[in-house]
Structure 1
Amino acid sequence: MIAPDSAFDGAPLLRTEFTLENGHAPVSRATLKLTAHGIAEAWLNGRAASDDVLTPGWSSYEWRLRYASYDVTDFIDEHTVLGIALGKGWFGGRLGWTGRGWFYGSELAGFAQLEIEFTDGSRQVIATDENWTSGPSAVLANDLYDGETIDARLKDDAWKHPGFAGDGWTGVHAVDFDTTTLAPYLGPGVTRWNTLDVAEVITSPSGKTLLDFGQNLVGWLRVRVQGPAGTEITMRHAEVLEHGELGTRPLRSAEATDRFILSGGDDEFEPTFTFHGFRYAEVSGWPGEFDPAAVTAIVIGSDLPRTGTMTTSDPLLNQFHQNVVWGMRGNFVDVPTDCPQRDERLGWTGDIAAFAPTAAFLFDVDSFLSDWLVDLDLEQGHHDGIVGFVIPDVLKYADRERPTEFGPVDSTAIWSDAAVWVPWTLYQAYGDTDVLRRQFDSMASHVRRVESLLSSAGVWDGNFQFGDWLDPDAPPEDPARAKADKGVVATAAIYRSASIVAEVAEVLGLAAEHAEFDAIASRLHRAFNDGYVSGDGIVLSDCTTVYSLAIEFGLLSPEHEDFAGRRLAELAEQAGYRISTGFAGTPFITDALTKTGHVDVAYRLLLERECPSWLYPVTMGATTVWERWDSMLPDGTINPGEMTSFNHYALGAVADWMHRVVGGIAPLTPGYASVLIAPQPGGGLTDVDTALETRHGRIAVHWTIADGTLTVDADLPEGVDGLLRLPGADDRPLTGGHVSATVELPAE
């Protein structure tokens, strides 16, 4: 690992030249392995080694630094320059809301190994060492939160080619580095996956020039421009407009601003050492008349294959589903983050615990989330079994300097339960027991840790809890002040985790562990009912979230579950079918209603348009899912709370219910080796198309309603069996291939 002898504004260049060794046969293969303390881009003789960006991403650097491997066989010449550009990235840039950076080290550094194989079997290795040189780039500043400044007058690509003189360049020095922390990527790299043109140029009430790309996205702007040398163009990014002006308050301290200084010639700028969450950009300093064709939005994200799709007869519901997709793509940027725009962008465990089933339907996230789970296990193993609020856990460094605003750090319901819920989701979606085997110790450690935190009554009600975070009835300044009792939420969550771990142990053939966690779950079940459920079935705090969790997690007796379902439906009706749940209850309320025979109420909730509801943001022009149900108020004013994001996927977790209950595709066995086709129509929908690419092939369901008749067409891959379950009809066994069925629906 080598670092430049000068910091070069936090964006140094590293280079070496080499000649192929004499006497060998032609090159048969060349592989570049690349990583950095920071983020790195590599070139060979001026050609980019890969289309990946933000390499090596963000992992728990203390114990795991990933490296990328690129096939560069066609890039090798007799005389070759290997060059690396470095940026701060997550290693050196600001992280979190403390204003601090450099949590992981004090200088940027690069690590590369180019392995050249010849047809005669010999090898030549070119690696970073003290013989490399370093120099300045055209990047004057770079930070993931604040943006990038590029001075085109300083750009000189000669450094990428042989014979470069190296004026202003200096040496490098070795950095103390433990090579045992090196690990290959398990998940995909980050790539440019889409581009968007300017949809509209707007002049704001104050006279500012605003660009609207028509979609809230994550990435940066590529700008082609010609103007007088030294002209500085500023691009300021934000997700929304507030009364016609750029709405930057939700960014908090993140500047989200790129600055481009012109050379006087034809310049092209692309700030690849930052990224922004934005739909709008404010342009200032443009030379002459602005040309919208000169600016393109580059959309980035982890390279995830799309697997699941869904469309319905309701345009607003279709837009909501698209919002879920775009919100996921924008937050799956190497780490599953909460939001991509403000001074945060952290891997919050609660968000992915809620959203993982939706993610695993929409995209193949097996390797992506498996990679993240390695860091969860590492952080947990170095923190007494505690699964932190965020992974990688950078908050542990901030909390050393001042007391955490959340109180003493310990396991936290739903957030820490990600250790169990996420691998279980991957197993259900892909059917591979390897993830359970890899993560079992982490899953078991979480439940055992929480067992040590239980009260003398056997419930989890002692330490800090987020609870039903962002309950819409909580005040904007205190999103944890929810209706749901935190002990009820926490005890229900750990019961679910203990039950899952018991089942995992059984799948893996671990008899002793199965008995251990089954017993823990039984004790939690008893304590929950003794402490929180009255004789007539009322669950403590008597609100939608506590009934949703108790029903969906299987905590109630049959008679109490029947009462809870009726009470849940009654509460939903009393709320005008507007949402009354936060992070804890929202992923489960529609399933709880469906399970207890109130699917009509679930549809009423799903299709409600008044705030708070899933469709209210759509009526306000949203193109991603919001953090708060009312992130923007009906008058176009941004929510007054200090924490407001317009791209937060967690509340989009209802899409999982949509896929299974509205669309009708659910696994009967893990990985969809057998399938339940069981659409439950409602809400006035008349046409629904749903499809999923599984490990066994494509499953598709299309249903329509006309003149009171439900027609269902389904396609299963060869070798996959299942059940067709339709309203008012007996279950019908299915085998691979096409099936069509009709049933008469009862008159409403």
Structure 2
Amino acid sequence: MPPPIPASPTFEQHPTGFGIGCQSPRISWRFSATEGTASDWLQSAYDIEVVRGDRTESYHEKSSESILVPWPSEPLQSREIARVRVRSYGGQDNAPTQWSAWSTVECGLLHREDWKARAITSLVKQKEGPLRPTRFRKTFTLPASTVRRARLYITSLGVFQAYINGERVGDHCMAPGWTSYHHRLNYEVFDVGSLLKDGEDNTIAVEVSEGWYATRLGFHGGRRFIYGDELALFAQLEVDMEEDGHSPFMVATDSTWESHESAIIRSEIYDGELYDAREEQDDWKTSTTSWEPTREIELPQTQLVAPNAPPVRVTEVVNPIEIIRTPSGKIVLDFGQNLVGRVRIRSVKKPAGHSIVLRHAEVLEDKELGTRPLRVAKAQDEIISAGHEIRDWAPGYTFHGFRYVQVDGWSPEDADTPLTLQSLAAEVMHTDLERTGWFSCSHPMVNKLHENAWWSMRGNFLSVPTDCPQRDERLGWTGDLQVFAPSASFLYRTPGMLGDWLQDLITEQLAHPKAIPPLVVPNVIDESFWPTFPQAVWDDITIILPWTLYQSYGDVEILRRQYPSMIGYLDRGVQRGPDRLWDDTLFQLGDWLDPTAPPDQPGNSRTDGTLVADAYLVYITGLLARISSILGESTAASHYEADYRALKSRFQTKYISPEGLLVGDTQTALSLAIVFDLHDDPKQAAAAGNRLARLVRIAKFQVSTGFAGTPVITHALTKAGHHQLAYRMLQESSCPSWMYPIRMGATTIWERWDSMLADGSINPGEMTSFNHYALGSIINWLHKTVGGVSPLEPGWRKILVQPLPGGTITSADVVYETPYGRLECRWEIRDGDRFWLELVVPPNSSATVVLPGREGETVVGSEGKVTLVSTFDSRKGWPPKALVPPMFEAEDTFV
């Protein structure tokens, strides 16, 4: 039997290894099974070859590890390139695999002294915003020698797009992304050798716009110039020539560069972009026509960072499906999908001075564009014609959340270029993460629910994980991510992006004297609007998110790096009462957006906020005890373990009756107690589960939970032995429910269960978004319980396969690219009660399989496709009935 084949190695949590900011990058490799791969193949040792310059280094290690193994060679230096390949030994005969293909790792600029560039800005400082984008340019002559290697190291105060000799550099959007600019500033690295002309004049041109750096951010009109009030460019082009005798050629930003106003008049995150083609210089990327001088300024004393996150890119193009004429006579294009990105005009010709305005919105209301949920964000792009054809234009430095676009100034009746479905296209933008997880089942609406959550993640993972992508907010709310992170880390490979975001969190958190995390990261909330005070659920992300990433990727260094954040928050940030639980005089967001909360009071929950906070406090204290043990912090582990036991006992005394019921007696309170194991007595836990089941039936299976309860209620019901009630809630179609928005035509997850009312009107609440992923956290239950897969140990080395069918779902299919290889799990019900499972486990890992209807478990290794069968009646107990007064008959509204 042949061994599996190792894939090309990867480095750290970086998407490519190019421009990495680490001197000793850990190495990982996955395995591809070949036909007839040896059964139960496990690695026993590995070889690594490293080529550095003209020398090859070989290393052999007896180890079963293939994920994030230590860099075997001496640390890399700035700009250094190394090639790496691996092979493994394993199986019964301990035979070697084939060598993997070579991978290349290249360091960026690791030290501040590697930078010779100066930050430059325009000669005249603009007095107020929005700041007009600025163009910078430098012409230089390369020696008459072949270019061997050329790298552009570049960043900006703002967002940029670079060109060399008129050609766009890279495909990144909104670069360098949004970070906590006072502390960390990303820089980008591009291979630009193919764009240069040796022995000739070359021109590098860069356009810089506000981006997140200087634009208006926040609520109620927001604040401008939070980070700075001048746009600046910071770039360094380094060229190595082929012939000996030539030292590296460098072009770095300084006062010899020129600058000019852009033809973009303004470009803002919330309000959109205005482009005046009459002010365009068609040859600005290549011309040597004299511009104004530039001015050198001091770059903020911030850390220059080579990010691990992939860049934002256009990942898909969506064409409109319909042109609508509204009752007021407006022209609206329907793209059929609520998405995030921008609209590109393919071709149009209008007289000079003619304006075309694109207004974006997620929904229609009364058959007109529904812009009220945008609050004060204009979300519109405008282009002013110069009298000639405009081809292939899109805004460069903004993005919108939309399904519908109102087009003013251009109609299907235009004589020159009538507006058609082929005139415009929507470009989907998000951080270009690697897709890793897929789910489908026999129920089309459940599949649509999963697809909607996927679209919401795409729309809200744009540089930072945001709450919404359309209105005057788009901020990195910690609570939203905390509840959705397990789902996100199944759908996509997230440790690079979320690990970078956590570095912003810890930096801003530890700058606070009490180590209180900000509610949004990067933090742009005005203290006069929302003073800093601790908040459970939201601030608990300091411990829960690193733990979630550790469970998904097995990277202990994420725990180690974030450990000061964890202990800082738990020891100093939590505001405690006399019993060391939360101080109950502190306002808690708690079970935010409970469906019964009035539209103008989203925090008015059925479940007491302090109860929610205390449940979370017990849970995270136990997590920190485990994390401390993993990190070898034995004294801290003992301390937090003792504190966990004491807090758990106090929680039980305060909230749990002798029978096991919760004082709050709500679905959220009971679910948190069950999922967080807050009962010690199994009989009490069972009583809580039965009480939760009763409340679910009384509620007629409608959702009765908010931010804290919704992610856990189906897990709690399943854990308590009431999985059919979880399926019944999943399939409920009346509002509030997961299926109600789908019945209403939703293509993403809504912020409120009733963001759109049944009559087609928009919820009157100020916080009404149609693209929020938090309530889509149900898909974690779809992956774990319906699909049946979850990690049994961190990093998916050992896998738990335990599908539990129910409802009207008769089959499910889940695929996950684990750190070790591809996991496939498919099941279906045949002949009424025969459960068939097909499973493919990746090499160097194993799965513990628990089949429904069968006692015990089966351990499966990498032995190709395995089929397991059991007898299980998935319709037993279906459909469960609601509890209603006897004079009323409950209507079945499941789909």
User: Any idea what SS the aligned residue of 2:642 has?
Assistant: helix
- Whether contact under 8 Å (1:450, 1:494) holds in the other structure is no
User: Any idea what SS the aligned residue of 2:284 has?
Assistant: helix
Which amino acid letter does the alignment assign opposite residue 145 of structure 1?
Y
Does residue 463 of structure 1 match 2:586?
yes
Which amino acid letter does the alignment assign opposite residue 715 of structure 1?
V
Any idea what the Cα deviations from partners look like across 1:367-402, whole Å, max 9, x if unmatched?
A: 01001000000010111211111000111xx22xx3
Does residue 745 of structure 1 match 2:872?
yes
Does residue 116 of structure 1 match 2:245?
no
Which amino acid letter does the alignment assign opposite residue 320 of structure 1?
L
Aligned-pair CA distance for 1:519: 1.9
Q: Which residue of 2 aligns with 1:667?
A: 791
1:37 maps to which of 131, 142, 157? 157
Q: Output the CA distance in 1 between the equivalents of 2:511 and 2:250.
A: 36
- Whether contact under 8 Å (1:488, 1:540) holds in the other structure is no
- Whether contact under 8 Å (1:204, 1:210) holds in the other structure is yes
Stretch of structure 1 that moved more, 676-685 or 556-565: 556-565
Q: Which residue of 1 aligns with 2:50?
A: none
Q: Which residue of 2 aligns with 1:393?
A: 523
- Whether contact under 8 Å (1:626, 1:646) holds in the other structure is yes
2:377 maps to which of 239, 244, 254? 254
- Whether contact under 8 Å (1:34, 1:68) holds in the other structure is yes
- Whether contact under 8 Å (1:337, 1:346) holds in the other structure is yes
Q: Which residue of 2 aligns with 1:62?
A: 182
User: Any idea what SS the aligned residue of 1:158 has?
Assistant: coil
2:258 maps to which of 129, 133, 141? 133
Q: CA 1:301–1:597 in structure 2 vs 1: closer, same or farther (change >3 Å)?
A: same
Q: Which residue of 2 aligns with 1:616?
A: 740
Which amino acid letter does the alignment assign opposite residue 4 of structure 1?
S
Q: What is the TM-score normalised by the length of structure 2?
A: 0.81
Q: Output the CA distance in 1 between the equivalents of 2:753 and 2:308.
A: 35
Q: Output the CA distance in 1 between the equivalents of 2:186 and 2:218.
A: 22
- Whether contact under 8 Å (2:310, 2:496) holds in the other structure is yes
What are the residue-to-residue correspondences of 1:2-401 with 2, within 5 Å?
2-6=120-124, 10-21=132-143, 25-77=145-197, 78-99=200-221, 100-119=223-242, 120=244, 122-161=247-286, 163-166=287-290, 169-178=291-300, 180-223=302-345, 224-268=347-391, 269-286=393-410, 288=414, 289-384=418-513, 385-395=515-525, 398-399=526-527
Q: Output the CA distance in 1 between the equivalents of 2:140 and 2:635.
A: 59
Q: Output the CA distance in 2 between the equivalents of 1:441 and 1:457.
A: 24
Q: Which residue of 2 aligns with 1:418?
A: 541
User: Any idea what SS the aligned residue of 1:448 has?
Assistant: helix
Q: CA 1:49–1:677 in structure 2 vs 1: closer, same or farther (change >3 Å)?
A: same
Q: CA 1:642–1:238 in structure 2 vs 1: closer, same or farther (change >3 Å)?
A: same
Aligned-pair CA distance for 1:292: 2.1
Aligned-pair CA distance for 1:612: 0.3
Any idea what the Cα deviations from partners look like across 1:151-198, whole Å, max 9, x if unmatched?
A: 12222231211x4213xx312111222455211112111000010111
- Segments of structure 2 that go 5 or more residues without pairing to the other structure are 1-118, 877-895
Q: CA 1:403–1:285 in structure 2 vs 1: closer, same or farther (change >3 Å)?
A: closer
- Whether contact under 8 Å (2:751, 2:771) holds in the other structure is yes
User: Any idea what SS the aligned residue of 1:700 has?
Assistant: strand
Aligned-pair CA distance for 1:450: 4.2
Q: Output the CA distance in 2 between the equivalents of 1:541 and 1:686.
A: 36
Q: Output the CA distance in 2 between the equivalents of 1:349 and 1:465.
A: 14
Aligned-pair CA distance for 1:462: 3.4
What are the residue-to-residue correspondences of 1:423-442 with 2, within 5 Å?
423-442=546-565
Q: Output the CA distance in 2 between the equivalents of 1:180 and 1:306.
A: 32
Which amino acid letter does the alignment assign opposite residue 283 of structure 2?
A
Q: Which residue of 2 aligns with 1:734?
A: 860
Q: Output the CA distance in 1 between the equivalents of 2:408 and 2:841.
A: 55
Which amino acid letter does the alignment assign opposite residue 72 of structure 1?
V
Aligned-pair CA distance for 1:411: 1.7
1:606 maps to which of 723, 730, 733? 730
Aligned-pair CA distance for 1:571: 0.6
- Whether contact under 8 Å (1:410, 1:464) holds in the other structure is no
2:605 maps to which of 453, 464, 482? 482
- Whether contact under 8 Å (2:593, 2:602) holds in the other structure is yes
Q: Output the CA distance in 2 between the equivalents of 1:173 and 1:41.
A: 20
Q: CA 1:332–1:455 in structure 2 vs 1: closer, same or farther (change >3 Å)?
A: same
Stretch of structure 1 that moved more, 189-198 or 717-726: 717-726
User: Any idea what SS the aligned residue of 1:740 has?
Assistant: strand
User: Any idea what SS the aligned residue of 1:316 has?
Assistant: helix
Q: Output the CA distance in 1 between the equivalents of 2:445 and 2:380.
A: 33
Q: Output the CA distance in 2 between the equivalents of 1:604 and 1:252.
A: 36
Q: What is the TM-score normalised by the length of structure 1?
A: 0.97
User: Any idea what SS the aligned residue of 1:91 has?
Assistant: helix
Which amino acid letter does the alignment assign opposite residue 301 of structure 1?
H
- Whether contact under 8 Å (2:823, 2:840) holds in the other structure is yes
Q: Which residue of 1 aligns with 2:78?
A: none
Q: Output the CA distance in 1 between the equivalents of 2:302 and 2:175.
A: 19
- Segments of structure 1 that go 5 or more residues without pairing to the other structure are none
Stretch of structure 1 that moved more, 461-470 or 190-199: 461-470
Aligned-pair CA distance for 1:512: 1.2
Q: Output the CA distance in 2 between the equivalents of 1:579 and 1:672.
A: 32
Query: Displaced runs of 4+ in structure 1, greater than 4 A?
Result: none
Any idea what the Cα deviations from partners look like across 1:295-346, whole Å, max 9, x if unmatched?
A: 0101100011100001111111111100000000000000000000000000
2:694 maps to which of 559, 567, 570? 570
What are the residue-to-residue correspondences of 1:418-567 with 2, within 5 Å?
418-451=541-574, 453-460=575-582, 461-557=584-680, 558-567=682-691
- Whether contact under 8 Å (2:377, 2:471) holds in the other structure is yes
- Whether contact under 8 Å (1:458, 1:523) holds in the other structure is no
How many residues get paired?
735
- Whether contact under 8 Å (2:185, 2:302) holds in the other structure is no
Aligned-pair CA distance for 1:21: 4.2
Aligned-pair CA distance for 1:457: 2.1
Which amino acid letter does the alignment assign opposite residue 712 of structure 1?
L
Q: Output the CA distance in 2 between the equivalents of 1:3 and 1:523.
A: 58
Does residue 589 of structure 1 match 2:713?
yes
Q: Output the CA distance in 1 between the equivalents of 2:295 and 2:484.
A: 44
Q: Output the CA distance in 1 between the equivalents of 2:684 and 2:201.
A: 77
Q: Output the CA distance in 1 between the equivalents of 2:466 and 2:133.
A: 25
User: Any idea what SS the aligned residue of 2:402 has?
Assistant: strand
Residue identity over aligned pairs, in percent, reads 44
- Whether contact under 8 Å (1:485, 1:540) holds in the other structure is no
Aligned-pair CA distance for 1:476: 0.8
Aligned-pair CA distance for 1:423: 0.9
Q: Output the CA distance in 2 between the equivalents of 1:381 and 1:84.
A: 35
Q: Output the CA distance in 2 between the equivalents of 1:274 and 1:296.
A: 16
Stretch of structure 1 that moved more, 669-678 or 261-270: 261-270
